[in-house]
Amino acid sequence: MRASTILVSVAAPAIAALVVAAPRLLETYSSARPAIERSAPGRGPDAAPPAGGVSAGTASGGIYGFHRDALARQREIEKLLTSLPETARVEQHARDLTREPHVAGTPENDRVARYIFERFKEAGLETEMKTYAVYLGYVKTARLEQVEPERKRLANPESGVPEDKDASDPRAALNWNAYSPSCDLTREVVYVNYARPEDFDALERRGVPVKDRLVLARYYHGYRGGKAQEAQKRGAAGIIFYSDPMEDGYFRGDVYPDGPWGPDSHIQRGAAVYDYIVPGDPLTPGWPSLPGAKRIRPQDSEILPRIPSIPISWRDALVVLRNLAGAPVPQGWQGGLPLTYHIGPGPSRLHLTIEASFETRTITDVIGVLRGADEPDRTIVLGNHHDAWVYGAVDPISGTATMLELARVAGELSRRGFPPRRTLVFGNWDAEEWTLTGSTEWGEEHRDELARDGVACLNVDSSSSGSVFQASATPTMRRLISETLRDVPDPRLGADLYSVTLAAADQDSFKSTYNAPAVEKQAHVVTYDILGSGSDYTVFFNHVGMPSLDAGFDGPYGVYHSVLDDYYWMSRFGDPGFLYHTAMVRLWGILAYRMADADILPFEESPYPADVKGYLADVEKSARGDAPLPDLTELRAALAEWEKAATDLDARVAASLGGARPTASALAKANAALIQSERDLLTPGGIPKRPWFRHLIYAPLPTYAAETLPGLREAVEDRDAARARSQAAALTAAIRARAATIRRAAEALGS
């Protein structure tokens, strides 16, 4: 899983012309993708003042975080990071890792883990296969049949073409959602649009209850687990998901096998679990699944669904929609199929049978460590996962193939006398597609040392489904990303990736089909999204407090979690020639080595308090008249302190990098403070209702979108005056703690 970005503004005509000559740049991705499902209106910073923009790059050829005396060595490293990656190696990894379906907890996935382990060893990394016994939900059989008004088998397997031999593998024929309970039921159907709370509310106003009925919901505008939970709250007997061609099929462009969009038979599998409450093993919520660990009963888990679910194709959904009566759908509910949609209920009645299997199985994280030469305890985590719903050529194997080549290049750099100053940890996680399980269990096991020494998490879930760069990031990391983009060429267009990304944002065709943008668009800068959840940075950012980013190259991707997300699709549509896979090796590598080798950690502070001011303004604006908005005087004063401290720190960093080199002691003190500063924004007890999420500025919604100031915002929305006051006080204390910490960093650099 990975995040998406909002891309903005204008570019030089020459660059724009180059981009126009390139393949169409279109954004698509599944509802399970966190930042694609951006902040919902009224829940995030939609009305915030400038947030997310990064202005022009480094003056005088410098690199942010590096003293002028260190630039020559760093440029030499980056020249090697640019020249050493080999596209043929990346493509071979992609082919080898997608030869068979490899769902978590299966022998096929064990073989994938072993392949990664061997490649890490060949690269010269200290390598470990770390196992956890975790609770996984499978489906043995899943059948769906329309029994009235006409009998018709549904939930049919996907269809490929003869030249795409992987698509016909019988191991990939089952349509299922992980953690769905078993069932044998026959019910009439109600169409519920995207199954959002507002959709169910609209049905109630129309006198169409869903209680004890099956609901048919289209994907997008929300994560499937959030849709399932909402259906469960409303009393539905079960939920059926389908991908409508309006979002990822012929309404967007040519479909497989003639183009990248989803054909009539494609199916989006996935977990329908509520891991935005707490991720990881459902039976060890908040602690690692180690031998002898306490395990709760499945019925006591907050995140396991209580109603069954199944995904189907739009070809099968059309059968149901043809047989729904009732009123025509409200405005905005009509999809792309060739008929007028009706709400129901019935007369379509469906018979759904699912035989589920809940088992404790072993999953395997593959960890490769390249030990830092100067500060070995300080760690930068590079994250990706290897388990897939079927083949996963995009999600996640594009990222895995990229990681393996980057590991080889990093090992070669060390052999040539350029080890990183700080330690690089290559974390290739298992069971991400269940509940972010492998990364969460590892992060919980290593929570104390990560809290002390973890510098940042650089996550690349899917490195390529197209050619348009996107990223989500902690505000302090935007400058790092932008400067790196300026130093990596686009593999097809030749211009630097920053210019190409900026130009792509101008194209009318590159429009999100999802929720409102997470940050306000700005002219002349690339705008990055804010972090929600749904990928492996979650434990490091929301629980441990490590600054994080999630990045990849996006594009028209209509076969998400489908059998058709295979080598055939990738080699023809996603990234022919595997050029953007290889570009991500360079980009990810430079990001990692700038974080690992910087004299002063490259966190620019000033954007953060500016963003938080915008989030606070949005809470005030969205509060309804009778909402118990607490007195925010102290919180605003704390924000003003943080803004001033941020400005002072950024000025001191600039002076230190361009002047006399600070002493080793001063740099150590400043960097220790910079590492601590994100932890200052955590609350030990977590935010109300979901204490695993400890970050006071960001937490995920059930859509996986980012919610800003979650504790305060939710208290105000719930009209809980006492809780709102408590959350405002907690925010004030956290912000003052961060301001004090970055003042210490500035003072260290001034000594």
CA quadruple 333, 334, 335, 341: dihedral sign = positive
User: Which neighbouring-strand residues pair with 144?
Assistant: 154, 352
Return d(Cα 515, Cα 38) in angstroms, integer. 5
User: Which neighbouring-strand residues pair with 368?
Assistant: 127, 426
The answer, yes or no, to whether residue 501 has pLDDT greater than 60, is: yes
The answer, yes or no, to whether residue 28 has pLDDT greater than 60, is: no
Tokens, residue 679: 């932890």
Please tell me the least confidently modeled range out of 198-212, 515-529, 722-736.
Answer: 515-529
**Per-residue confidence at 624, pLDDT binned at 50, 70, 90?**
confident
Return d(Cα 517, Cα 685) in angstroms, integer. 30
The answer, yes or no, to whether residue 49 has pLDDT greater than 50, is: no
Q: Where exactly does CATH 1.20.930.40 map onto the chain?
A: 607-750
Instruction: Report angle CA 464, 465, 471 to the nearest 5 degrees.
Output: 60
Q: What is the pLDDT of residues 98-113, one digit of tens each?
A: 999 999 999 999 999 9
Is 3.50.30.30 the CATH classification of the domain at 135-359? yes
Residue showing tokens 């309404």: 251
Q: Where exactly does CATH 3.50.30.30 map onto the chain?
A: 135-359
How big is the chain by its Cα radius of gyration, in Å? 25
Return d(Cα 613, Cα 349) in angstroms, integer. 51
**Per-residue confidence at 153, pLDDT binned at 50, 70, 90?**
very high
The answer, yes or no, to whether residue 334 has pLDDT greater than 80, is: yes
The count of other CB atoms within 10 Å of the CB of residue 296 is: 14
Return d(Cα 365, Cα 425) in angstroms, integer. 12
Record the pTM: 0.92
Q: What is the pLDDT of residues 188-246, one digit of tens each?
A: 999 999 999 999 999 999 999 999 999 999 999 999 999 999 999 999 999 999 999 99
Return d(Cα 7, Cα 504) in angstroms, integer. 7
* The one-letter amino acid at 303: I
Provide the CB-side half-sphere exposure for 635 (13 A, CA): 22
Return d(Cα 465, Cα 560) in angstroms, integer. 10
Return d(Cα 411, Cα 428) in angstroms, integer. 17
Return d(Cα 422, Cα 371) in angstroms, integer. 7
The answer, yes or no, to whether residue 380 has pLDDT greater than 50, is: yes
Whole-number Cα distances in Å, 334 to 193, 347, 527, 630 = 8, 19, 31, 41
pLDDT value of position 523: 58
Question: Does residue 692 contact residue 278 with C-beta atoms inside 8 Å?
Answer: yes
533-555 burial code (b ≥16 CB/10 A, e <16) = bbbbbbbbbbbbbbbbbbbbbbb
Determine if the peptide bond prior to 257 is cis (ω within 30°).
yes
**Fold entry, domain 607-750:** Transcription Elongation Factor S-II; Chain A (1.20.930)
The answer, yes or no, to whether residue 41 has pLDDT greater than 50, is: no
78-107 burial code (b ≥16 CB/10 A, e <16) = bebbbebbebebbbebbbbbbbbbbbbbbe
Higher pLDDT, 691 or 512: 691
Return d(Cα 347, Cα 100) in angstroms, integer. 41
| 288-297: average pLDDT | 97
| 285-305: average pLDDT | 98
130: nearest Cα among 6, 288, 255 = 288
Tokens, residue 544: 């441990």
Task: Return mean pLDDT, the chain.
Answer: 90
| 320-338: average pLDDT | 97
The answer, yes or no, to whether residue 443 has pLDDT greater than 80, is: yes
- Catalytic machinery residues: 432
